Structure 1
Amino acid sequence: MSILSRTSRSAIALFALGWALLLAAADMDYGLQPVSIADGTWVLVGRSEDFSTANGGNIVNTGFIVTPAGVLVIDSGPSRAYGEQLKRAIARITDKPVTMVVNTHHHPDHFLGNQAFAPDTLAALPGTISGIHAEGGTFNENMYRLAGDWMAGTEPLAPAKQLTAGPLELGGHHLELIALDGHTGADLAIFDRSTGVLFAGDLVFNDRAPTTPHANLAAWQKALDRLESLGFKQIVPGHGPVAQGTAPIRQTRAWLGWLDGNLRQAAEDGLDMTEVLAIP
């Protein structure tokens, strides 16, 4: 009888553990819903929030382009779990294989989902690759602190394939890879001339304050001028809603101008960093 009791208790414990794991898995669901914005072009819009354990780091816009030759993914998200769920979301749309995963720059919410994809599909600008090698570990540790359990199993994985600026033909889509800088030392924008969609990465924020840990404000302003000249139909910013027209670029430019003006005035006034951070 005692053996049966121990067996029963073990079975109950295992059932409870399994149920807890199922609940945990459900809690780790990003709820990714691809939205079609143009022919073969899909976007997954992140939340307009800061990183937190509530959103798992899902504050970034990722996207993918489906072509007869395969799928191009633009940014892999903030965690391995996000990357895996992104891959499943793509599979719900198409049975075409993912042939390239592009990281627009080296900030963590844009590349920490890389593990979910085949290593030989990962690609980025040389400066992005070196940035991931140099800072990926620190970024990953910070994301574990900010997003908690969502980051389980996530490790930084840098692309091996180096991209260069210029045209890229993929399954009938005439893409232009545009190498810029300003938000970081290496920022990639992808313009699909076939659909008029511009994936701007974090060079453009829409209804969000841009982040500036690696920023060169003068270079960033020049990058915005370049993007504005492209004549795109729709723009996918790194953060914030997809838009038609150049309003997100103008908004980002104005915010950077405000920041630059405040920093210059603070320098003239001899303010220390604490006083600068207190500027409203």
Structure 2
Amino acid sequence: MKRWLCAAFFISNAVFADDFAYPMQPQQVATDTYVIEGKTEDFSKKNGGFIVNTGFIVTADGVVVIDTGVSRRFGEQQRAAIEKLTGKKVVRVYITHHHPDHFLGNQTYTDVPIYALPATRDGIKAEGEMFSGNMYRMVGDWMRDTRVTPPTQDAKAGKETIGRHELEVLALQGHTAGDLALFDHTTGVLFSGDLVFNNRAATTPHATLTTWLTTLDSLQALSFKTLVPGHGNVASDTAPIAQTRAYLQWLQTTLKDAAANGLDMLEVMQTPIPADFQSVALVQNELRRSVSHLYPALEQANLKPAKQAE
């Protein structure tokens, strides 16, 4: 009986473990350049939090990774897929910003330098444990044994050649206080992080919309050939930038007008979605979230002291 129970335990665990395989399918988007494209969905136990695009560049000196994903499991499977495909070791990691789907795979890469902007490192140290706890609640056991591992190196704006690839770190803001974009001048590939979304509504928990819109203008001015957004399909034009800009402009105008007219949060959350954005994934959900993130400050700014009776 004991022997049967022991065997059943191991069989059960093996089946259970197999359920936690992410669909790691690197797509080549340019010479030496690959993207593992996530789903345009909300976090769920079904997708394991795999809603983000991560990427890697194969250089003569080794592989450069852009974002490590949502969990320890993701980071391990990402690294295994990279090394199997390329036959090379990872030599550097860049983290685009401090949201959990982009950095919680870091513990897989503690043997290589992990670069991020100082504001990103600060954000991970301040909010990483909260993010990790929230991810456990949303995606469950996909997160098992995930530990918050902050980046180890400060990324600085400027160009650096790694293995014959001229890489430029762009230190930006808007989506968060520290948004790193990586532009490979050798191939023309721009990794924008969550400064750009493609047919997926932008998220705003740490956003400053005016700054973000200015940042999008600077990204559009770059002479890139391929754009890898933080979420959504890879593109060969500026259309995702234009779409993200249009959505943020609509969101900003909607929230400002609503505050000026004294609408409450529930009323604003029911704002009809314009036809231009109705096909954008999760737009209604993100509108509701953005109202909760951004509207209280706008309401406060529009409060005026009541006139005293004479």
The TM-score by the shorter chain falls in which range?
over 0.9
> Which segment drifts farther, 117-126 or 53-62?
117-126
TM-score (norm 1): 0.95
Q: Any idea what SS the aligned residue of 2:167 has?
A: strand
Equivalent position to 1:259, from 251, 258, 271: 251
The alignment status of 1:110 with 2:111, answered yes or no, reads no
In the alignment, which residue of structure 2 is the partner of 1:30? 22
Q: Please, what is the CA RMSD of the aligned residues?
A: 0.9
Given residue 205 of structure 1, which amino acid in structure 2 is its aligned partner?
A: F
Contact 1:196 1:232 in 2 (8 A): yes
Between the two proteins, what is the percent identity of the paired residues?
53
Q: Any idea what SS the aligned residue of 1:104 has?
A: coil
Equivalent position to 2:13, from 18, 21, 26: 21
Counterparts of 1:221-260 in structure 2 under 5 Å?
A: 221-260=213-252
Aligned residues: 272
Given residue 173 of structure 1, which amino acid in structure 2 is its aligned partner?
A: H
- Superposed CA offset, 1:9-59 (max 9, x none): 112111111111111111100021111111110100001110000000000
The alignment status of 1:160 with 2:161, answered yes or no, reads no
Q: Any idea what SS the aligned residue of 1:82 has?
A: helix
In the alignment, which residue of structure 2 is the partner of 1:205? 197
Contact 1:81 1:150 in 2 (8 A): yes
* CA distance in structure 2 between the partners assigned to 1:155 and 1:146 by the alignment: 16
* CA distance in structure 1 between the partners assigned to 2:232 and 2:28 by the alignment: 16
Q: Any idea what SS the aligned residue of 1:243 has?
A: coil
- Superposed CA offset, 1:92-119 (max 9, x none): 1122211111110000000000011125
Contact 2:117 2:171 in 1 (8 A): yes
Given residue 215 of structure 1, which amino acid in structure 2 is its aligned partner?
A: A
* CA distance in structure 1 between the partners assigned to 2:125 and 2:9 by the alignment: 38
Change in 2 beyond 3 A, CA 1:179/1:169 = same
Contact 1:120 1:160 in 2 (8 A): no
* CA distance in structure 1 between the partners assigned to 2:265 and 2:57 by the alignment: 43
In the alignment, which residue of structure 2 is the partner of 1:271? 263
Contact 2:90 2:112 in 1 (8 A): no
* CA distance in structure 1 between the partners assigned to 2:131 and 2:269 by the alignment: 23
* CA distance in structure 2 between the partners assigned to 1:168 and 1:25 by the alignment: 40
In the alignment, which residue of structure 1 is the partner of 2:290? none
* CA distance in structure 1 between the partners assigned to 2:171 and 2:54 by the alignment: 18
Which consecutive residues of structure 2, in runs of 5 or more, have no partner in the other structure?
273-310
Given residue 253 of structure 2, which amino acid in structure 1 is its aligned partner?
A: G
Which consecutive residues of structure 1, in runs of 5 or more, have no partner in the other structure?
1-8
> Which segment drifts farther, 212-221 or 114-123?
114-123
TM-score (norm 2): 0.86
In the alignment, which residue of structure 2 is the partner of 1:126? 118
In the alignment, which residue of structure 1 is the partner of 2:284? none
Contact 1:68 1:96 in 2 (8 A): no
* CA distance in structure 1 between the partners assigned to 2:35 and 2:17 by the alignment: 24
Counterparts of 1:37-76 in structure 2 under 5 Å?
A: 37-76=29-68
